[in-house]
Amino acid sequence: MHVPDGFFDAPTSAVTGAVAVGALAVSLRGARQEQGGTSRASEAERGGERTAPLAGLVAAFIFAVQMLNFPVAAGTSGHLLGGALAAILVGPFTGVLCVSVVLLMQGILFADGGLTALGVNITDMAIVTTVVAYAVFRGPLKVLPRSRRSVTAASFVAALLSVPAASVAFTLLYAVGGTTDVSIGKVATAMIGVHVLIGVGEAAITALTVGAVIAVRPDLVYGARGMRQGLKLRVNGVLVDAPSAPSAPVAGARASRRAVWATGLVTSLVLAGFVSFYASSDPDGLEKVARDQGIDARTEEHAAAGSPLADYGVEDVSDARLSGGLAGVIGVGTTVAAGSVVFWAVRRRRTSVPSRVR
């Protein structure tokens, strides 16, 4: 759903740019709290200390999976937006930052998503999806026990609804500042219809990923904080709670986090560098709707069209498989580096703020 240059007029681009800047400022502040940014050491804050190093990795994973377009209808494909996944794994504020880092890397390095439309893309793909997904995600967990199954199910529903919500937001923005005279009713019907289907793929990817991380380290999942998975023992034919095991040593916990981080990075590199070659080549939902409805009539050439990595290929590398694979690996590396720098700065800012005297 990357919006190119020329879809929206200048006032709409400027307003959404201001909204994006404001939301990123709020998210930076919120991310410090999600990563343990207050002076009182609570369980949530200690959870933030554990999940903070994963934020850059989450951004890189989203970048990698966004390269894997999957078919959803005849001649149409879809890809992960990532707002729900990021919000559940590392928190909604940190999630907005994660997706924004991905969009920035894609726009600057790969000419994917217009630079003048960056505000639109961040508003639609980072803010709307994350806010809607996390609001929906919290609903079921208020009435269901916070278990692996309920968290995974809530993740599925949240991701499923976040994608059509983004398509609705795009339609409303286009009704206000679109550059072509088309029937908004037709655009809305086409956008929502195809993105409901894409939402199913988004939901499956999100639920599988969240479930996989919870199975290994539930304490690393922001949306699973407070979850208890006590061991059951059968005594005289009756299931009873087993005694709580002592906490893992700090060194062991750190080693486990490093293992999760390394596994996630390798997975991202494989997906972007190898599996992406087999992704669907059909246009994604927005591209198909734009072509069918004529809202791409005033599309402008991307300012970074001459980038050596434009269109997810490496310039002067003739082999398509090698070119795309190298571009994917470079993208993952750049995104994890940029994301890690951002979240390192967030944590450094947090630790440098003196505690208030109470």
- pLDDT at residue number 37: 46
**Mean pLDDT along residues 260-286:** 95
Q: What is the dihedral of CA 277, 337, 35, 134, to 10 degrees?
A: -30
- pLDDT at residue number 144: 85
**Distance of alpha carbon 195 from the chain centroid:** 16
DSSP H helical segments within the chain, as ranges? 10-34, 43-51, 55-66, 83-90, 92-110, 118-121, 129-141, 148-177, 184-216, 250-273, 285-293, 320-352
Higher-confidence position of 144 and 301: 301
Return all residues near 245 (Cβ < 8 A) that are at least 6 apart. 231
What's this model's pTM, rounded to 2 decimal places? 0.88
**Banded model confidence at residue 38, pLDDT cuts 50, 70, 90:** very low
- pLDDT at residue number 244: 47
The separation between the first and the last C-alpha atoms of the chain, rounded to the nearest angstrom, is: 48
For residue 130, pLDDT beyond 70: yes
Higher-confidence position of 345 and 240: 345
**Banded model confidence at residue 197, pLDDT cuts 50, 70, 90:** very high
Write out pLDDT tens, residues 247-268.
445 555 666 778 888 999 999 9
For residue 181, pLDDT beyond 60: yes
CATH architecture under which domain 10-352 falls: Orthogonal Bundle (1.10)
- pLDDT at residue number 222: 93
Q: Look at strands 232-235 and 238-241 and give their pairing.
A: antiparallel
Percent of the chain with pLDDT over 90: 72
**Distance of alpha carbon 212 from the chain centroid:** 16
The values of phi and psi at residue 116, to 5°, are -70, -20
- pLDDT at residue number 45: 47
Q: Which residue has the tokens 């078919």?
A: 71
- pLDDT at residue number 226: 74
Write out pLDDT tens, residues 11-25.
999 999 999 999 999
- Hey, where are the domains in the chain? 10-352
**Mean pLDDT along residues 196-216:** 96
